[in-house]
A and B are shown apart, each in its own frame.
Chain A
């Protein structure tokens, strides 16, 4: 069987403007890949297209996830199949309790996978263990989803969701943006704790900094809507030293 995620010749855009101009990328199960690129290179578009945001139009190419046609699936089907997007800007849901949201999401996914649903008591046990691991205060479960959360708390809440939903592939869309170094370490620990043969991640970032803590197996450079170079973790350091300018010319 091929890689867990197989992207071939993917082109996509928004409002008639093409942003992804031909992405080819494979992420095998158990591996962490980083996608780096300057602003406007298509990083967030790639994450939204993979998660199924409807305002982005796919104009060509294919994406297979665990052998299935990912692009034919609704966002909630992608989640049930094991895809998770950690949002760059997590959305606020006024009046919706975080614990209630998390339990509803977890049970929707468990139902879709044919697993029994968790009752409130067992869910809280699980959620409290995870919040503790992520150094989150217990009251984050009681508060409304992302309402009044600091930037760091929102990102930790994304990692909490990831830890509970146990995806096969997590896409982290600039999860490091707006984080101080302590929060960054907590988030990285949360991701590293998931690493194993059943977990893959696509870490999308502008900076090398996050990759000091989540060491990727492969690094891809995205410029002008396509991957212009791929390499090992050393490529990230090279970019940190020389910037994207040289690669942009090569593209």
Chain B
């Protein structure tokens, strides 16, 4: 039974009217398949949000650790004047997992703002992709976006990919994209271990530090769960 793949295809739609704020947080831990990539969930999810009202706000926060394949792009249609979209994401892949996730920020109204923070952690022979669209339409005068994509590699057989799509059709808009890729450095691990931390505790500490900007967006109980989940997901991925 477990050699087969199951499909999870959920649809979430959010609508925020004048001055409304919606915060939607997910921690996802579906069965990822075995070490060789047999079995596991295909997690193909539609999530979209409409900021229809003035000054409305939609904030997506996600922690993705499970599933054999994840395709997921929670989006915000920023229609109301001064509306705000946020996307905070941690995606962890190990063994043969594939995660292709990101967001769409579609700026329609004037003075709309969006923030994207994506943290991808790849281990084993997995592939982790950030794919995101920032689209500024002609009437979105003064629109602003800041995107930050950081990738952390554990081991030398995994992949991290960053695929940003940026379309701006208004000359007054400001769009920024920052991306970094780093490897857990031997000297960081050694520093922690020389202070008495086990190899696994050291990895957890470094990974949690790497994800902190996103984890602090989660409700408290979720954040604690998410930290534990990261630790379990990465067990045995170093050394």
Contact = CB atoms under 8 A, between A and B. Distances in A.
A157 to B, nearest CB: 11
A87 B191 contact: yes
Contacts of B193: 52, 74-76, 79
B194 A52 contact: yes
Contacts of B190: 51, 53-54, 75, 91
Contacts of B191: 87, 90-91, 93
Contact of B209 (A52, A91, A94, A108): A94
Contacts of A108: 195-198, 201
Interface residues of A, number: 31
B197 A95 contact: no
A58 interface: no
B137 interface: no
Nearest to B191: A91
A78 B196 CA distance: 8
A112 interface: yes
B187 interface: yes
A101 interface: yes
A76 B197 contact: yes
B208 A96 contact: yes
Nearest to B188: A91
Given A91-B188, A108-B201, A75 B194 contact: yes
A80 interface: yes
Interface residues of B, number: 23
B194 A51 contact: yes
B219 to A, nearest CB: 19
Nearest to B216: A95
A105 interface: yes
B147 to A, nearest CB: 19
A109 interface: yes
Contacts of A93: 188, 191-192, 205-206, 209
Contact of B196 (A79, A87, A94, A144): A79
Interface in B171-219: 185-188, 190-199, 201, 205-206, 208-213
Given A53-B190, A87-B191, A95 B208 contact: yes
B181 to A, nearest CB: 14
Contacts of A84: 194
A96 B133 CA distance: 31
Contacts of B211: 95
B209 A95 contact: yes
Interface string A85-129: 101001101111000110011101100100000000000000000
B201 A104 contact: yes
Contacts of A100: 205
Contacts of B194: 51-52, 75-76, 78-79, 84-85
A93 B208 CA distance: 10
Contacts of A11: none
B205 A101 contact: yes
A109 B206 contact: no
Contacts of B213: 95
B205 A76 contact: no
A205 interface: no
A180 interface: no
A188 interface: no
B197 A55 contact: no
A90 B205 CA distance: 17
Given A54-B190, A75-B190, A104-B205, A95 B195 contact: no
Chain B CB count within 10 A is highest, among A55, A85, A100, A108, for A108
A36 to B, nearest CB: 23
A54 to B, nearest CB: 7
A204 to B, nearest CB: 15
A105 B197 contact: yes
A115 B51 CA distance: 55
Interface in A34-84: 51-55, 74-76, 78-80, 84
A68 B205 CA distance: 29
5 contacts: A79-B194, A94-B210, A95-B208, A95-B209, A108-B198
Sort A-B residue pairs by CB-CB distance and give the 5 closest, nearest first. Answer: A95-B209, A96-B209, A105-B195, A95-B212, A79-B196
